[in-house]
Amino acid sequence: MPEISDIPVHVTTGFTWTSFFTGISGASLLTILVLVIRQIGPWRKQRDEAEEKLRSALTKRVQRLERKIEIKDAKHEAERALDRHKIRNLNQCLDAVLMILETAPEKTVEVVAKVRTMRETQLAAEMREAGEIHAATIAAMARIDEDIPDDIDP
């Protein structure tokens, strides 16, 4: 049986295409790895800037929506108060008519004329109040855009 030292070993020195392509592919991989590592910082910065921009836009949107909800709640309460006022006015007119009809039916024509005048005054006041509510709502909505400017690019 031959000994290990008896087996001839061929060692080639010099240029081979295999070693050339191995060196090129190793250098290419190393270059790509260096480029990727260098890009991690800018990618992270870009991601952080995008997240901050999104966070800022969402915060402004939430603020705007919260203000709109507050305005709608206030408008709703004002409209409910106006409705209660209208119902009280109608009850007052009806009570006046019924009271006069019960106590002095012969004065019906006079009472109806007075109640009609009273009702016209009430309707004018109710329309004025409704207009004030509407104007206040429009002004409040306009202030939202002034208070929270939309300076975020989409």
Mean pLDDT score across all residues of the chain = 83
Instruction: Taking residues 27-43, report their average pLDDT.
Output: 84
Q: What is the pLDDT of residues 51-82, one digit of tens each?
A: 999 999 999 999 989 988 988 888 888 889 88
Token output for 144 = 């939202």
Q: What is the pLDDT of residues 88-138, one digit of tens each?
A: 888 988 888 888 888 888 888 888 888 889 889 988 988 998 888 888 888
Domain ranges of the chain: 14-147
Q: Are 115 and 97 in contact (CB under 8 A)?
A: yes
pTM for the predicted model, two decimal places:
0.55
Using only C-alpha atoms, the chain has a radius of gyration, in whole angstroms, of 43
Q: Are 142 and 65 in contact (CB under 8 A)?
A: no
pLDDT of residue 50: 93
pLDDT of residue 1: 55
Q: What is the dihedral of CA 12, 16, 19, 23, to 10 degrees?
A: 140
Q: What is the pLDDT of residues 50-59, one digit of tens each?
A: 999 999 999 9
